[in-house]
Structure 1
Amino acid sequence: MRVVVPFATNDPKTRLSDRLSPAERREFSRAMLEDVLEAIRGSGGEIEVLATAPLDIDAPVTVDDRPLTDAVNAALVPETAVVMADLPLITVAVLEELFETPGDVVLAPGRGGGTNALVSRQPDFRVDYHDGSFPKHRASAAELGSVAVVDSHRLATDIDEPADLVELLIHGEGRATDWLRDAGFELARTESRLGIERE
């Protein structure tokens, strides 16, 4: 299956600005992207990174600096999956479940109401990201055919906010987790800095 992976190259992960410098955010985003690409390769997907600027990476890259919705819609054809680049907890098994789930449109919601991954087998389906995209995608897909939802913690966990770093430190095993630990992020200290208390 063709798998489109949108990736912002210039100023990624701005909501982590109080924890990471611009250079660190670029390095961290690249590590998450590598984790995602490795899982896609393992699942047999045909990768197309949809980047906002040229990117030196071991994968085919299409440059499109338009807003996310416009860029993805331009790349969307039947039998295409879209997997966000900030899902470093995904595994081959999770992706295989996404790809193999029947439905004209298959959606994987994020914890905040977004759409972290999808499969479209419907030629008229179009995405509309931001502002709670999951319910919008589910409604628009239902008008076109059958809709399935893959409810997965690993697909739901996108790394946007400082609190998300804790999830990665707990459950992650890839490059992004290694990068965080090398940068000095440890679970207890990160939870403490974020005001998280565990029983």
Structure 2
Amino acid sequence: MEVIVPFSTDRPKSRLSDVLSADERAAFARAMLDDVLDAVATAGGEPTVLATGAVDVDPPVTVDDRPLTTAVNAALGGHFEADGASDAAADPVAVVMADLALATPAALDRLFDAGRDADVAMAPGRGGGTNAFVASYPAFRVDYHGASYLDHREIAAEVGADFAAVDSHRLATDVDEPADLAEVLIHGEGRAAEWLRDAGFALDADEGRVAAVRG
């Protein structure tokens, strides 16, 4: 299955600026990207990085510095056009965000399997965003903003695509805020968790709340 992995090289992870420098954010974002690419490949996907600038990775890279919605829709359109799809049947294509530091091959397998059965299968983020999906319905397009999961469910209904939700803690956890770093330290199994530990982060329990703190 073709898997598009959007990745920003332009001021990545700016909401972590209170705890990480610009260079550190770039290195941490790259560690998460590498984890996601490994998980996708192990799950049998064929990843392509959709980046806002040049990035040195083994999988193919498509550079598109337009906003996320525009870039992903162009990639979806290119996939379906190359597939020669009819209005309601195409080979599935997945979009998996590059900051899913907890993603595992097993979690992605569940998503990919759901996407082979439904026209659109989607893993919502904890805040209602869209972290990963599979689509095989050429009329489906994305609109990333706010609680985009609800918008995407509505878009699927409007174009006549059947929709499946994939409830997965690992795919629901995107890393944007300092509070998210604790999830990586608790559940992470790859480069991102190792990077945080090497940078001096550890778990601290304060009044029942577990947080990532830097020593």
Report the TM-score range of the alignment, normalised by the length of the smaller protein.
Answer: over 0.9
Equivalences for residues 89-104 of structure 1 within 5 A: 89-101=102-114, 102-104=117-119
1:86 counterpart residue number: 99
**Count of aligned pairs:** 194
Counterpart residue number, 2:30: 30
The share of aligned pairs that are identical, in percent, is 63
For the residues of structure 2 that align with 1:3 and 1:60, how far apart are their CA atoms? 11
Give the Å deviation of 1:32: 0.2
The CA distance in 1 between the partners of 2:150 and 2:63, in whole Å, is 28
Query: Is the 2:140–2:161 contact (alpha carbons within 8 Å) kept by the matching residues of 1?
Result: no
Unaligned runs of 5+ in 1: none
2:11 aligned partner: 11
Q: Which has the larger displacement, 28-37 or 136-145?
A: 136-145
CA distance in 1, matches of 2:190, 2:37: 11
Residue of structure 1 aligned with 2:148, choices 133, 137, 142? 133
Which residues of structure 2 form unaligned runs of 5+?
81-89, 211-215
SS at match of 1:142: helix
Q: Who is 1:122 aligned against?
A: 137
Distance 2:208 2:152 in 1: 33
What is the identity, as a one-letter code, of the residue corresponding to 1:174? G
Residue 196 of structure 1: CA displacement?
A: 6.3
1:164 aligns with 2:176: no
Secondary structure at the aligned position of 1:165 is classed as: helix
What is the TM-score with the length of structure 1 in the denominator?
Answer: 0.94
Matched, 1:187 2:187: no
SS in 2 for 1:62: strand
CA root-mean-square deviation: 1.2
CA distance in 1, matches of 2:208, 2:188: 19
1:81 partner amino acid: A
**2:164 pairs with 122, 130, 148, which one?**
148
* One-letter amino acid of the counterpart of residue 152, structure 1: S
SS at the partner of 1:24? Answer: helix
Is residue 113 of structure 1 aligned with residue 128 of structure 2?
yes
**Residues 145 and 163 (structure 1 numbering): CA distance in 2 closer, same or farther, change over 3 Å?**
same
**For residue 213 of structure 2, what is the aligned residue in structure 1?**
none
User: Paired residue for 2:46?
Assistant: 46
Query: Given that residues 33 and 99 in structure 2 are in contact (C-alpha distance below 8 angstroms), is that contact kept between their aligned partners in structure 1?
Result: yes
Q: Deviations over 1:77-131 (max 9, x none)?
A: 3411000000011111111110111210011000011000000110000000011
- 2:84 match: none
Are the aligned partners of 2:35 and 2:191 in contact in 1 as well (CA < 8 Å)?
Answer: yes
In the alignment, the residues of structure 1 paired with residue 161 and residue 72 of structure 2 have an alpha-carbon distance, to the nearest angstrom, of 20
| Equivalent residue number for residue 21 of structure 2 | 21
Partner of 2:87: none
Specify the code of the residue in structure 1 equivalent to 2:155. Answer: S
